[in-house]
């Protein structure tokens, strides 16, 4: 089949494009012109379509003749220009969905996020849990985009939605590197020590997305994506600190105080026009205060999905990769 992957220059998208190629599909990747990932993608036999997700005509051209579109492109950060989140996460998704509908693409798979749910106050979350607006750019635009995909399903486009938890693995530039950098510098502290780190190893996520793209039972459905083992935040940080030979975090602040500090930092950075990411953001504080258990029984029962890479194996592989990088580069997103 012919598969278009958006966001193929990123961590998740590159793994998805690679897997599609390995399974014998003809793969196209929509990538911004001049992106450094283009040669690597082409070496894998992937056809690169240079264009911007915000350009409806470019997206339409990329989608022509495709059987499946996997839409992974997004501003997936806790910091950035609010308009970029709107233009890419919502506007880009509209362009992809419209291109899929007009080109009669067999199935559109959208990568949403667990950030669309209230995982701080909820004890258990499944696919029927209502979305929760937070007045934060990333989660709020992902909610809008996920709803938009639902609107195109009502227009007749076959869709499937995957809600990944925190994705990690070799090559990840968020979870492991940022936490390791904070631990190494003694800048990471707890606001809720015994919270759940809802993680999914990249290979396990790709397995589920491939099922969402091809399994008959995935049509019109949404699936939570989270690994079986869910460590608490304190245990995760202790293990990571041991792995990088650093002192574990030991300072504890109440959640409300950490959230207030993050709000003040964001305000100060906005006022000064700083391009760098604050040490604390509201989204990061919220994400690392998660209490919810994500119920993935739907993906297991309906699609036969079962995470193949264990938490221990995934942690070791990612730590080995991290230790092979200059620590000064850990914070480079």
pLDDT at 14: 96
Residue indicated by tokens 């391009």: 275
pLDDT, mean of residues 303-308: 98
* Domain extent for 16: 2-169+198-228+292-309
pLDDT tens sequence across 53-68: 999 999 999 999 999 9
Residue 38 CA, chain-centre distance (Å), reads 21
Question: Do the domain assignments include residue 210?
Answer: yes
Question: Do the domain assignments include residue 165?
Answer: yes
pLDDT at 117: 96
What is the tally of structural domains in the chain? Answer: 1
- Please indicate whether residue 277 or residue 171 has the higher confidence score (pLDDT): 171
pLDDT tens sequence across 210-258: 999 999 999 999 999 999 999 988 899 999 999 999 999 888 888 888 8
pLDDT tens sequence across 170-206: 999 888 998 999 899 988 877 665 788 899 999 999 9
pLDDT at 193: 58
In 3D space, the residue among 233, 262, 225 whose CA is nearest the CA of residue 114 turns out to be: 225
pLDDT tens sequence across 135-180: 899 999 999 999 999 999 999 999 999 999 999 999 998 889 989 9
Question: Do the domain assignments include residue 267?
Answer: no
Question: Do the domain assignments include residue 37?
Answer: yes
Tokens of 163: 């809600």
Residue indicated by tokens 């491939």: 210
Residue 289 CA, chain-centre distance (Å), reads 17
In 3D space, the residue among 32, 27, 92, 91 whose CA is nearest the CA of residue 65 turns out to be: 27
Using an 8 Å Cβ cutoff, are 188 and 246 in contact? no
Q: Rounded to an integer, what distance in angstroms lies between the CA atom of residue 53 and that of residue 153? A: 20
Question: Do the domain assignments include residue 241?
Answer: no
In 3D space, the residue among 77, 132, 126, 74 whose CA is nearest the CA of residue 283 turns out to be: 77
DSSP characters over 172-221? -SSHHHHHHHHHHTT---BSSTT-B--EEEHHHHHHHHHHHHH-GGGTTE
Q: Rounded to an integer, what distance in angstroms lies between the CA atom of residue 30 and that of residue 48? A: 6
Q: Rounded to an integer, what distance in angstroms lies between the CA atom of residue 139 and that of residue 149? A: 15
Domain with residue 42: its CATH number is 3.40.50.720
Tokens of 324: 């092979």
Question: Do the domain assignments include residue 24?
Answer: yes
pLDDT at 166: 94
- Please indicate whether residue 283 or residue 128 has the higher confidence score (pLDDT): 128
Question: Do the domain assignments include residue 185?
Answer: no
Question: Do the domain assignments include residue 224?
Answer: yes
Q: Rounded to an integer, what distance in angstroms lies between the CA atom of residue 205 and that of residue 163? A: 10
pLDDT, mean of residues 74-92: 92
Other beta carbons less than 10 A from residue 178's beta carbon? 19
pTM score, whole prediction? 0.94
């Amino acid at each position: 089949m012919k598969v278009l992957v958006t966001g193929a220059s990123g961590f998740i998208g590159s793994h998805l494009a690679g897997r599609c190629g390995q399974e014998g599909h003809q793969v196209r990747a929509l990538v911004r012109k001049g992106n450094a990932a283009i040669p690597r993608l082409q070496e894998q036999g992937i056809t690169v379509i240079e264009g911007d997700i915000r350009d409806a005509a470019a997206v339409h051209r990329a989608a022509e003749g495709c059987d499946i579109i996997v839409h992974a492109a997004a501003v997936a950060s806790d910091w950035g220009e609010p308009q970029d989140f709107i233009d890419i996460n919502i506007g880009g998704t509209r362009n992809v969905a419209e291109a899929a509908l007009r080109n009669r693409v067999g199935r559109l798979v959208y990568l949403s996020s667990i950030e669309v749910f209230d995982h701080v106050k909820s004890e258990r979350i499944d696919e029927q849990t209502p979305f929760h607006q937070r007045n934060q750019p990333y989660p709020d635009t992902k909610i809008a985009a996920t709803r938009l995909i639902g609107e195109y399903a009502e227009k007749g486009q076959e869709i499937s939605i995957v809600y990944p938890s925190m994705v990690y693995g070799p090559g990840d530039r968020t979870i492991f590197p940022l936490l390791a950098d904070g631990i190494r510098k003694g800048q990471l502290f707890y606001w809720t020590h015994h919270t759940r780190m809802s993680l999914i190893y990249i290979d396990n996520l790709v397995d589920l997305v491939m099922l969402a793209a091809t399994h008959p039972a995935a049509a019109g459905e949404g699936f939570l994506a989270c690994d079986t083992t869910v460590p608490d935040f304190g245990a995760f940080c202790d293990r990571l600190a041991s792995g990088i030979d650093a002192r574990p975090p030991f300072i504890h602040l109440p959640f409300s105080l950490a959230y207030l500090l993050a709000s003040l930092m964001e305000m100060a950075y906005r006022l000064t026009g700083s391009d760098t990411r604050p040490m604390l953001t509201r989204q990061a504080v919220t994400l690392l205060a998660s209490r919810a258990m994500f119920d993935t029984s739907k993906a297991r029962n309906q699609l036969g999905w079962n995470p193949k890479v264990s938490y221990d194996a995934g942690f070791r592989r990612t730590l080995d990769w991290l230790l092979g990088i200059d620590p000064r580069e850990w914070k480079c997103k």
